[in-house]
């Protein structure tokens, strides 16, 4: 009996020790998780995109994803995966030749995922499978989509899904019918090309299943105009599309964001079309051989595409250097916020424009469309633009050190990558690996940087309990 009692006490002591050890392990793991885990929704969004790029890289490295023997290298797969998820369109290999049908499908899925949003896609799965969302999922999706609040996420996510699918399906049908009737494609081939280019268009990605991109369709309005329309819709941003759907007959009730995006888009489309068409009108390598109406069509299409997508209906490498400079400006500005477009967004530059006009007029408050602009937005817009300019300048200087290309071509590639546009003067594939890694980082930062930085600046705003005395330095 004594032996049994002693054995029980020993086992109890061992069990208690094991229990305490387990508790210490769990406590240590919780402490480690608190340190390592992201503390802000924007950090989770960044990690979500990074995870999607990593998975896409692994899939594209599989031998089945590449035509011919062997598989893609790590850099080839990583560059293509980043360009797809960040809906950019820059390539180092010829998409229709290098990648197999499986590889092209992976690219298409990554484009759709990146355009829709990784966190938004996760929230969509939660809505479809569980019919509800946790607070954390709502916060993450609200951060990515710029929804009005966590309570609006379900409605916003489903709205984004409906708009995306309807637009992509309509464009795919138009392209399929045109390719069948105008170019003799078989129904299956026309359907695949229609679906691929419709998703690539609406998500402003610019990937194409032709080695010369869309140069072969430069004079075909039944191809160029529907693609341009999808690019414009995706570039307006989902908040604008939602508001137009609800109050398209009441412009007076539109928000400042919607008015800025619509007016800015119209101005940039007209100005970009006039500029590119005029500069390239007599260029024998671009618009010169076309008829006058075809030149205007090509100029309009390239103006639409330059601000956010990566298609091209003329040879970018043969354009005038001054055209590249104008396109740099359009790419840097980009499209509307909370959509599939890239760049620093129209609203950011519109805010800076109104700040400038207010200062030139000597007014004290910035008024836009009958509303006074918050001073916090002044600082946010200036901060985002200055940081973006610094990043573009530093990246351009770095690439000038490690490549032999001229500054005009390098600046074009840098702005295209940062603006997630995807246009190229033809030097991306010829760049050394270090330069391609720089472009990968630029695409990632360009896709997520303005969003996360803007949200971070807004969240970090806190009341100041004291102020220093004012003093004015000399300006100019």
Report domain extents, the chain.
36-459
Q: What pLDDT does residue 280 have?
A: 96
Q: What pLDDT does residue 456 have?
A: 53
What does pLDDT average to over the chain? 82
Q: What pLDDT does residue 453 have?
A: 56
Q: What pLDDT does residue 158 have?
A: 75
**333: which 2 tokens?**
């500005």
Q: What pLDDT does residue 369 have?
A: 86
Q: What pLDDT does residue 470 have?
A: 73
Q: pLDDT tens digits, the chain, 476 residues: what are they?
A: 444 455 445 545 545 554 555 555 445 434 434 444 445 556 667 777 888 999 999 999 999 999 988 899 999 999 999 999 988 999 999 999 999 999 999 999 999 888 876 545 444 444 444 445 444 444 444 544 454 444 456 666 777 788 888 999 999 999 999 999 999 999 999 999 999 999 999 988 989 999 999 999 999 999 999 999 999 998 888 778 878 887 877 888 888 888 999 999 999 999 999 999 999 999 999 999 999 999 999 999 999 999 888 899 999 999 999 999 999 999 999 988 877 788 888 989 999 999 999 988 888 888 888 888 888 788 888 888 988 999 999 999 999 999 999 999 999 999 999 999 999 999 999 999 999 999 999 999 888 776 565 555 555 556 667 777 877 787 76
Q: What pLDDT does residue 137 have?
A: 47
Q: What pLDDT does residue 461 have?
A: 55
Q: What pLDDT does residue 143 have?
A: 47
Q: What pLDDT does residue 332 have?
A: 94
């Amino acid at each position: 009996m004594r032996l049994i009692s002693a054995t029980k006490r020993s086992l109890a002591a061992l069990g208690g020790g094991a229990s305490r050890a387990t508790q210490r392990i769990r406590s240590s793991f919780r402490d480690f998780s608190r340190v390592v885990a992201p503390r802000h929704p924007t950090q989770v969004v960044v990690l979500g995109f990074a995870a999607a790029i990593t998975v896409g890289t692994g899939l594209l490295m599989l031998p089945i994803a590449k035509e011919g023997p062997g598989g893609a290298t790590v850099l080839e797969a990583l560059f293509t995966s980043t360009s797809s998820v960040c809906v950019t369109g820059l390539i180092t290999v010829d998409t229709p030749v290098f990648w197999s049908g499986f590889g092209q499908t992976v690219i298409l899925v990554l484009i759709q995922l990146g355009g829709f949003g990784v966190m938004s896609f996760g929230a969509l799965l939660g809505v479809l499978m569980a019919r509800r969302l946790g607070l954390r999922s709502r916060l993450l999706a609200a951060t990515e989509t710029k929804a009005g609040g966590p309570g609006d996420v379900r409605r916003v996510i489903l709205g984004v899904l409906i708009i995306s699918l309807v637009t992509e399906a309509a464009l795919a049908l138009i392209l399929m019918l045109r390719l069948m009737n105008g170019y003799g494609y078989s129904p299956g081939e026309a359907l695949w090309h229609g679906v691929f280019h419709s998703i690539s268009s609406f998500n402003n990605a610019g990937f194409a299943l032709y080695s010369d991109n869309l140069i072969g369709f430069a004079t075909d309005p039944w191809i160029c105009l529907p693609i341009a329309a999808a690019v414009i819709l995706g570039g307006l941003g989902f908040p604008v599309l939602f508001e137009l759907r609800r109050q398209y007959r009441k412009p007076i009730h539109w928000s400042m964001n919607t008015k800025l995006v619509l007016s800015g888009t119209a101005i940039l489309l007209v100005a970009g079309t006039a500029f590119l068409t005029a500069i390239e009108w007599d260029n024998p390598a671009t618009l010169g051989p076309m008829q006058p109406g075809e030149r205007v069509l090509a100029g309009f299409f390239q103006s639409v595409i330059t601000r956010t997508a990566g298609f091209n209906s003329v040879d970018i490498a043969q354009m005038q250097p001054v055209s590249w400079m104008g396109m740099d400006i359009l790419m840097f500005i980009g499209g509307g916020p909370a959509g599939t477009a890239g760049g620093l967004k129209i609203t950011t530059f519109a805010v800076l424009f109104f700040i400038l006009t207010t200062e030139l007029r000597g007014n004290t408050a910035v008024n836009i469309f009958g509303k006074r602009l918050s001073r916090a937005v002044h600082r946010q817009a200036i901060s985002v633009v200055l940081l973006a300019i610094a990043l573009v300048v530093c990246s351009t200087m770095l690439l000038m050190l490690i490549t032999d290309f001229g500054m005009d071509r390098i600046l074009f590639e840098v702005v295209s990558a940062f603006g997630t546009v995807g246009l190229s003067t033809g030097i991306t594939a010829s760049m050394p690996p270090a330069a391609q890694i720089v472009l990968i980082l630029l695409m990632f930062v360009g896709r997520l940087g303005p969003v996360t930085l803007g949200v971070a600046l807004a969240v970090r705003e806190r009341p100041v309990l004291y102020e220093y005395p004012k003093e004015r330095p000399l300006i100019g």
